[in-house]
């Protein structure tokens, strides 16, 4: 029997499968990569297994992008990569060599002003703890650029990759609907 990541119960599978032991013999090389993050070129030396999310948070110090599940399921880590919304937890930093990344820190027009969606989130009370908010806003910016969301129903469906555990969803959709106008 093999394993299944999402469709069956991974925890049960893990106990059935003996854990794979770490390989200690080999050494691995770091990768030198350049990412343009919020308009600024960043040279990074990262091990190949460092996710884009960890690179942003731990190497560059941009902690606005959040780690919710680290498995692609919650959307807290959503950033824009060459204008498209992607999950930074399921992306290796090295995979994005040369890409332009925009995080929540990079969306406001200036240090003293906010992005219209940031304003709409505040005005509509579109968060409680705020943990999902950076991902929600980056995802919503990506969605608005895609140009496919018009109705409330469409917005709900196209924001389905971003979960809010506080349950602010109704107000999140309100805020985004305001952004569409």
Partner 1 sequence: MISYPFDYVRPESVEEALEHLGGDTKILAGGHSLLPTLKLRLSAPDKLVDIARIASLKKIKKDGDEIVIGGAVTHREIMDSEIIQKHLPVLSEGAAVIGDPMIRYKGTMGGSLAHADPSADWSAMVLAAGGEIVIQSKKGKRTVPATEFFTGFYSTALKDGDILIEIRFPVPEEGTKMTYQKFTQPASRFALVGCAAARLPDGSARVAFTGVADAPFRDKGVEEAVGDWSEATLEAAAQKAAEGQNINADHYASEEYRLHLAKVYCKRALLQLVN
Ligand X SMILES: Cc1cc2nc3c(=O)[nH]c(=O)nc-3n(C[C@H](O)[C@H](O)[C@H](O)COP(=O)(O)OP(=O)(O)OC[C@H]3O[C@@H](n4cnc5c(N)ncnc54)[C@H](O)[C@@H]3O)c2cc1C
* Contact residues: ligand X, CB under 6 A: 72-73
Minimum gap (Å) between residue 78 Cβ and ligand X: 12
- In the chain the beta strands, taken as DSSP E runs, fall at 31-37, 40-46, 78-81, 84-87, 100-102
User: What x/- string results for residues 139 through 168 when contact with partner 1 is judged by CB under 8 A?
Assistant: x--xx--x-----------x-xx-------
By the rule CB under 8 A, 15 interacts with partner 1: no
Pairwise CA distance, residues 35 & 1, whole Å: 41
By the rule CB under 8 A, 10 interacts with partner 1: yes
Exposure string for 147-170, b = 16+ CB within 10 A, e = fewer: eebeeeeebeebbeebbbeeebbe
Among positions 79-108, residues that touch ligand FES (CB under 6 A) are 87, 89
Pairwise CA distance, residues 138 & 118, whole Å: 10
Tell me the window of 41-49, 105-113, 144-152, 164-172 that interacts with ligand FES (CB under 6 A): 164-172
Quick one: 140 or 164, whose CB is closer to ligand FES? 164
CB atoms within 10 A of CB 119: 15
CB atoms within 10 A of CB 67: 16
| Tokens linked to 98 | 């040369």
Contact, 160 vs 136, CB < 8 A? no
Residue from 36, 73, 128, 169 touching partner 1 (CB under 8 A): that is 73
Residue from 13, 36, 42, 70 touching ligand FES (CB under 6 A): that is 70
Put the strands of the sheet holding 31-37 in their side by side order. 40-46, 31-37, 100-102, 78-81, 84-87
Contact footprint for ligand FES (CB under 6 A): 67-70, 72-77, 87, 89, 127-132, 164-166, 168
Contact footprint for partner 1 (CB under 8 A): 1-10, 13-14, 17, 19-20, 22-23, 26, 28-29, 31, 47-49, 51, 54, 70-73, 75, 78, 84-87, 90-92, 94-95, 97, 139, 142-143, 146, 158, 160-161
């Amino acid at each position: 029997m093999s394993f299944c990541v999402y469709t069956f119960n991974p925890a049960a599978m893990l106990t059935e499968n003996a854990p794979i032991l770490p390989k200690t013999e080999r050494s691995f090389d770091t990768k030198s990569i350049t990412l343009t993050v919020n308009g600024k070129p960043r040279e990074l030396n990262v091990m190949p297994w460092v996710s884009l999310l960890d690179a942003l948070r731990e190497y560059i110090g941009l902690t606005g992008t959040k780690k919710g599940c680290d498995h692609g399921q919650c959307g807290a880590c959503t950033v824009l990569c060459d204008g498209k919304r992607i999950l930074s937890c399921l992306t290796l930093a090295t995979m994005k060599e040369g890409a332009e990344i925009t995080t929540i820190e990079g969306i406001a027009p200036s240090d003293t002003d906010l992005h219209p969606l940031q304003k709409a989130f505040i005005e509509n009370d579109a968060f409680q703890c705020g943990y999902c908010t950076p991902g929600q806003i980056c995802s919503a910016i990506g969605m608005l650029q895609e140009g496919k969301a018009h109705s409330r129903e469409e917005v709900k469906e196209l924001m389905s990759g971003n979960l809010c555990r506080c349950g602010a969803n109704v107000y999140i959709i309100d805020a985004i609907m305001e952004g569409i106008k």
